[in-house]
């Protein structure tokens, strides 16, 4: 059974407190490769999560700024984790895990043209119990792709050029703290922290029916691991897939 329950209480016209509980699930599935029969991993069960949250939402500075803070706690059962042995991908129910932390979101309207948004998250996410004894090296270890700290800072510019033309621009910095990339390697070292910058500038008509956009992603050409796994048939050797390198280009879009 799944569902959610939320209670809101308005402390004033500009501040609202809330608390919520929700239970969700991720469907199970089948691993389609021959070796799954040998390892008894031909299928995996649904994953369930019980989540609790409490927080505040607020507006101030005559409605030009807002701040939201949330404290959250989630318990996972039959947690699904993806593994790669160098030849095949598989999904396995690993056991129980727990995540908890705090998230802060802010927006600020400086002028009609300039706005800023900023978000920061502190997270603790760990494996609490494991169903497969061969995965005991994961016990009390951080779950994959769960950095302690993550944040995003964005600056937006919007300017009317004429009755029919406007320009939009955005610059953003995304910080990701050190973290484990996967769960395959027993002695995996954490991926170092990194900072990603993105830029875009767009010229479009007032009705948003067309736009010409110049953009850049990962502008500083940062490298980091996205997948880390044991090399096939080479004991003690590991491989990694890296993120996409710097990308830039121009895009023309039109709505019909």
Q: Where are the domains of the chain?
A: 3-254
What mean pLDDT is predicted for residues 152-176? 97
* Residue with more model confidence, 102 or 35: 102
pLDDT at 38 > cutoff 90: no
Give the list of residues 6+ apart from residue 96 with CB closer than 8 angstroms, or none: 75, 76, 77, 79, 127, 128, 129
pLDDT at 21 > cutoff 90: yes
Give the list of residues 6+ apart from residue 13 with CB closer than 8 angstroms, or none: none
CATH superfamily membership of 3-254: TonB-dependent receptor, beta-barrel domain (2.40.170.20)
SS3 1: coil
pLDDT at 196 > cutoff 80: yes
Burial class (CB in 10 A: 0-12, 13-18, 19+), 214: middle
Pairing of strands 225-230, 210-217: unpaired
What integer pLDDT is reported at residue 232 of this predicted model?
76
Tokens 């009609």 correspond to what residue? 112
Q: What does the alpha-carbon distance between residue 146 and residue 177 come to, in Å, rounded to a whole number?
A: 9
Task: Indicate the pTM of the whole model.
Answer: 0.91
SS3 223: coil
Is 65 within 8 Å of 59 (Cβ atoms)?
Answer: yes
What integer pLDDT is reported at residue 34 of this predicted model?
72
What integer pLDDT is reported at residue 234 of this predicted model?
76
- Mean pLDDT across the chain: 94
What integer pLDDT is reported at residue 84 of this predicted model?
81
SS3 234: coil
Q: What is the pLDDT of residues 238-255, one digit of tens each?
A: 889 999 999 999 999 999
Q: Confidence band (pLDDT; 50, 70, 90) for 136?
A: very high
pLDDT at 36 > cutoff 80: no
What integer pLDDT is reported at residue 197 of this predicted model?
98
What integer pLDDT is reported at residue 233 of this predicted model?
72
Q: Confidence band (pLDDT; 50, 70, 90) for 152?
A: very high
pLDDT at 158 > cutoff 90: yes
Tell me how crowded residue 195 is: count the other CB atoms within 10 A of its CB: 11
Percent residues over pLDDT 90 in the chain: 82
What integer pLDDT is reported at residue 40 of this predicted model?
73
Angle at 167 between CA 163 and CA 169, to 5 degrees: 160
**109, containing H or E segment:** strand 95-109
């Amino acid at each position: 059974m799944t569902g959610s329950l939320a209670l809101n209480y308005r402390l004033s016209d500009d501040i609202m407190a809330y608390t919520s509980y929700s239970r969700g699930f991720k469907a199970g599935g089948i691993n389609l490769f021959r070796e799954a029969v040998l390892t008894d991993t031909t299928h995996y069960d649904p994953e369930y999560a019980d989540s609790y949250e409490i927080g505040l939402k607020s507006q101030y500075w005559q409605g030009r700024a807002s701040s939201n803070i949330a404290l959250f706690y989630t318990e996972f059962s039959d947690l699904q984790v993806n593994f790669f042995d160098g030849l095949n991908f598989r999904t396995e129910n690993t056991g129980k895990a727990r995540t908890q932390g705090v998230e802060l979101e802010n927006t600020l309207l400086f002028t009609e043209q300039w706005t800023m948004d900023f978000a920061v998250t502190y997270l603790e996410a760990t494996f609490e119990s494991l169903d497969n004894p061969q995965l005991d090296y994961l016990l009390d270890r951080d779950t994959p792709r769960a950095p302690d700290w993550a944040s995003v800072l964005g600056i937006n510019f919007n300017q009317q050029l004429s009755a029919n033309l406007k320009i939009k621009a955005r610059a953003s910095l995304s910080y990701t703290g050190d973290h484990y990339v996967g769960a395959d390697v027993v002695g995996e070292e954490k991926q170092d922290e990194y900072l990603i910058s993105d830029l875009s500038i767009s010229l479009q008509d007032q009705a948003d029916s067309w736009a010409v956009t110049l953009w850049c992603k990962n502008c500083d050409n940062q490298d980091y691991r996205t997948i880390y796994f044991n090399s096939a048939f080479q004991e003690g050797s590991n491989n990694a897939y890296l993120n996409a390198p710097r990308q830039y280009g121009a895009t023309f879009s039109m709505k019909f």
